[in-house]
């Protein structure tokens, strides 16, 4: 995978994460509900954050694996 393609994907992921963790969309989770006894807002916030971290790790590992194969 080319370095510029990985850079473009990381920038797109950053923009998606910024939108997901910013007010208008984050406000959707601010309701009086619980998930396994945890309020929905912190549960959704931590889940989105973890998914972003996993996606970045996957992209970077995929990039290094492609470099080793060349």
Contact assessment for residue 63 and residue 6, using Cβ atoms and an 8 Å cutoff: yes
Domain residue spans of the chain: 3-69
pLDDT over 90 at 51, yes or no: yes
Distances from the Cα of 46 to the Cα of 25, 40, 42, angstroms? 15, 10, 6
CB atoms within 10 A of CB 17: 17
Which tens digits make up the pLDDT trace of 6-42?
899 999 999 999 998 898 888 888 889 999 999 999 9
| pLDDT at residue number 32 | 92
pLDDT band at 4 (very low <50, low <70, confident <90, very high): confident
């Amino acid at each position: 995978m080319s370095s510029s393609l990985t850079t473009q994907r990381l920038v797109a992921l950053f923009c998606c994460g910024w939108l997901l963790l910013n007010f208008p969309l984050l406000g959707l989770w601010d309701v009086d509900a619980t998930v396994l006894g945890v309020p929905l807002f912190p549960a959704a916030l931590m889940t989105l954050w973890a998914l972003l971290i996993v996606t970045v790790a996957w992209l970077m590992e995929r990039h290094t694996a492609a470099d080793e194969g060349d």
